Chains A and B, each alone.
Chain A
Amino acid sequence: MDGIYLDNNATTKVDPEIMAAMMPFFTEYYGNPSSIHMFGERVGREIKAARKKVQALLGAEHDSEIVFTSCGTEADSTAILSALKAQPERKEIITSTVEHPAILTLCEYLEKEGYTIHRIGVDKQGRLDMDAYKAALSDKVAIVSIMWANNETGTLFPIEELAELAHAAGVMFHTDAVQVVGKLPIDLKTTKIDMLSLSGHKLHAPKGIGALYVRRGLRFRPLLRGGHQERGRRAGTENAAGIVAMGKAAELALEHMDFENTVIKGLRDRLETALVEAVPCSFVTGDVDNRLPNTANIAFEYIEGEAILMLLNKEGIAASSGSACTSGSLEPSHVMRAMEIPYTAAHGTVRFSLSRYNTPEEIEKVIAVVPGIMARLRKMSPYWTENGPAQEPEKEFNPVYA
């Protein structure tokens, strides 16, 4: 499909090499890896190789610490529910206000079941409130689950430090690292992280494959029971093609790690600097000095995200927005609200997320197109006058809200 794809935090293109690696597992190597015969044996061997590659990407000490799942969400649910089952006397969970719904919605549900949820807040740059975090740690807490990088802003939390603190307090530590794995170097064996979730389709493998890292010796209770697969920690016949793809994706991500942190980061910086300069009343959200190399989240004030995305789409540019309208939910993104971004800016946030497939030419085209789109929408905005934003937007325009 033609077009400029800048929505790689949502999902990525399947790398042709990965595609080629997995195809034989739909055609020739269709055996069940548990089977004793040659049809199964080959598949079993390739799954083992894939596990080693994921181990290498994560810097895990043992390959048996990798449990393949169907997606990142399953890995997240498995981690939290395992911690609760394994420590029934502990009834509290620590998380953050800016987590992915895979964590937040599960926590809301568990709250109704009687668990206490500590949601640690962030400041206006999206940085975690460390004092509140330390205060929440206690022997009543079953698990800490805090994301490594925020999917909307790319802001990184100090996960190694958070894990150390949890470890010192005797609390299990899980991190949803779906946005970080493949983008930044990770060396789990030197950290105190107990569990870590990743997702294949964020690093150029297909949808439908994820993994959970479970530190050796950690008390663990499976989500799915019924078979010996994944050493009894995740029953169900293996998604062999997906696992092979994940292995290949891990290998390629390691190879491209430098590229991601130099070239891609350079493209991101060029895009961001040029847009903020060219579009008045726009600013970058999140912790600018401490974030993923591929993510730029820019708030364009006084206009709304879905309208921006539709006009971008017409120009063949794909991005995403924290606007309420794009999700069908009531409010703008909970991440933007947690950072206290004003409504008129939060609705106009646009996330550009790059991958190794983006080119400098694409970035220049986006830079050329975006200012015109913003000007066009602002011309229609009641918060905007001919000379720029209304002097006192609240006085200039004060609608009756339903």
Chain B
Amino acid sequence: MWEYSDEVKEHFFNPKNAGAVDGANAIGEVGSISCGDALRLTLKVDDANDVILDAGFQTFGCGSAIASSSALTEIIKGMNVDEALKVSNNDIAEFLGGLPPEKMHCSVMGKEALEAAVANYRGEEWVDDHEEGELVCKCFGIEAPMIEEQVRLNGLRTIEEVTNYTKAGGGCSTCHEKIEEIISTVLADLGEAAPSFDAKPSAPLVQPEAASAAPKPMTNLQRIRRIEMVLESMRPTLKADGGDVELVEVEGNTVYVNMTGACAGCQLAASTLGGIQQRLIEEMGEFIKVVPASQMSATQQAEG
């Protein structure tokens, strides 16, 4: 079963604003193929000032779809429609204390229902431009259509390139077989021969000579340098999303980092940290725990 936050459970077991609103003048109906979920959002908007007076949802879907619908209606009630349109799917997920990566599309469905309802209120036609598909990279929540598109547009040929463009495959690396399949399929569609994939990453972070000398324990300085190297190698993918990471302190097996830029407060920060931790464990050959620097003092006090 999924690990749902307490907020998700609360909004599922005791949903707010379930049912259609009487006298609604804005209706949005959307569905998500991934889960077979569907949502109808009904709003009562004040014609004079565009303020959302009431919101109600009817959802055919799983626990997180119902919770996301409930959260959405709570968030937007009292906003005017322009403010409401600024609510992102991440805002919905954050309101719920996070969603499992497989379930982020539930929050996307909420966001889309809102857009559709506002379009309906304004007498416009809403067009969906978001393509959903199978979740490939669980570390960074990347779906197949996104990878396919990037491979097609940019002529990507290796897993490393896919990681650089999409982040997919940059964490635990267990989705690499699937990514190779996607590359091969897209290239076959384009009429190109399938590339031959290297059995080992083309640009290993750890040089073979260094690796052969590995049995000798590293000094603290060497360890910190190695950690810096690993973080450096992940930086381009973070920067592509407008974020960054900085190393604050290393204490035994615990690595304290600061997530900066767009990473700070990002809904996916936790899974990004998880991805970084996984990479460090692989590259360092030992168990490493990556912790936000904000938790550093508390931990030290507890130890002291």
B128, A400: Cβ atoms closer than 8 Å = yes
CA distance A302 to B60 in the complex (A): 7
CA distance A382 to B27 in the complex (A): 12
Distance in Å from the Cβ of B104 to the closest Cβ of chain A?
Answer: 12
Chain A residue with minimal CB distance to B31?
A399
Chain A residue with minimal CB distance to B113?
A399
A304, B61: Cβ atoms closer than 8 Å = yes
What is the interface size of chain B, counting residues whose CB is below 8 A from a CB of the partner?
A: 42
Distance in Å from the Cβ of A344 to the closest Cβ of chain B?
Answer: 7
A401, B63: Cβ atoms closer than 8 Å = no
Cβ of A379: which chain B residues have Cβ within 8 Å of it? 18-19
Distance in Å from the Cβ of B251 to the closest Cβ of chain A?
Answer: 36
Chain B residue with minimal CB distance to A112?
B181
B61, A307: Cβ atoms closer than 8 Å = yes
Given contacts A330-B133, A380-B18, A402-B132, contact A325 B31 (CB under 8 A): no
- A350-391 interface mask toward B, CB cutoff 8 Å, 1 = contact, 0 = none? 000000000000000000000000000001111100000000
Residue B238, interface by CB 8 Å: no
Cβ of A304: which chain B residues have Cβ within 8 Å of it? 35-37, 60-62, 65
Distance in Å from the Cβ of B20 to the closest Cβ of chain A?
Answer: 9
Main SS class of interface, B: mixed
B63, A306: Cβ atoms closer than 8 Å = yes
Number of A-B contacts (CB under 8 A): 108
> A residues 279-324 with Cβ under 8 Å of B?
302-307, 310-311, 313-314, 323-324
Residue B66, interface by CB 8 Å: yes
Distance in Å from the Cβ of A259 to the closest Cβ of chain B?
Answer: 31
B58, A382: Cβ atoms closer than 8 Å = yes
Cβ of B109: which chain A residues have Cβ within 8 Å of it? 402
A307, B40: Cβ atoms closer than 8 Å = no
CA distance A304 to B103 in the complex (A): 15
- B25-45 interface mask toward A, CB cutoff 8 Å, 1 = contact, 0 = none? 000011111111111100000
Residue A398, interface by CB 8 Å: yes
Cβ of A346: which chain B residues have Cβ within 8 Å of it? 36
B59, A324: Cβ atoms closer than 8 Å = no
Cβ of B58: which chain A residues have Cβ within 8 Å of it? 380-382
CA distance A306 to B65 in the complex (A): 10
Cβ of A326: which chain B residues have Cβ within 8 Å of it? 1, 62
Contact of A330 among B29, B34, B60, B62 (CB under 8 A): B34
Cβ of A323: which chain B residues have Cβ within 8 Å of it? 35-36, 62
B126, A325: Cβ atoms closer than 8 Å = no
Given contacts A304-B61, A328-B135, contact A400 B116 (CB under 8 A): yes
B29, A307: Cβ atoms closer than 8 Å = no
Cβ of B63: which chain A residues have Cβ within 8 Å of it? 306-307, 310, 325
Residue A397, interface by CB 8 Å: yes
Residue B94, interface by CB 8 Å: no
Residue A347, interface by CB 8 Å: yes
What is the interface size of chain A, counting residues whose CB is below 8 A from a CB of the partner?
A: 34
Residue A39, interface by CB 8 Å: no
B13, A314: Cβ atoms closer than 8 Å = yes
Residue A157, interface by CB 8 Å: no
Residue B244, interface by CB 8 Å: no
B36, A347: Cβ atoms closer than 8 Å = yes
Residue A115, interface by CB 8 Å: no
Contact of B60 among A303, A311, A314, A328 (CB under 8 A): A303
B30, A402: Cβ atoms closer than 8 Å = yes
Residue B15, interface by CB 8 Å: yes
Distance in Å from the Cβ of A1 to the closest Cβ of chain B?
Answer: 15
A307, B12: Cβ atoms closer than 8 Å = yes
Contact of B35 among A313, A324, A381 (CB under 8 A): A324
Given contacts A310-B12, A314-B13, A324-B35, contact A398 B66 (CB under 8 A): no
A383, B60: Cβ atoms closer than 8 Å = yes
Cβ of B108: which chain A residues have Cβ within 8 Å of it? 402
A382, B112: Cβ atoms closer than 8 Å = no
CA distance A383 to B39 in the complex (A): 10
Cβ of B131: which chain A residues have Cβ within 8 Å of it? 402
Cβ of B19: which chain A residues have Cβ within 8 Å of it? 379-380
CA distance A314 to B135 in the complex (A): 28
A381, B36: Cβ atoms closer than 8 Å = no
A402, B130: Cβ atoms closer than 8 Å = yes
Cβ of B66: which chain A residues have Cβ within 8 Å of it? 307, 380
Cβ of B30: which chain A residues have Cβ within 8 Å of it? 399-402
Instruction: Known pairs A325-B103, A400-B116; list 13 more (Cβ under 8 Å).
Output: A304-B37, A306-B62, A323-B62, A324-B35, A325-B64, A326-B62, A347-B36, A347-B60, A379-B19, A380-B58, A397-B40, A400-B112, A402-B128
11 residue pairs of the A-B complex, CB under 8 angstroms, read: A307-B62, A310-B12, A325-B64, A331-B36, A380-B15, A380-B59, A380-B66, A382-B59, A400-B31, A401-B30, A401-B32
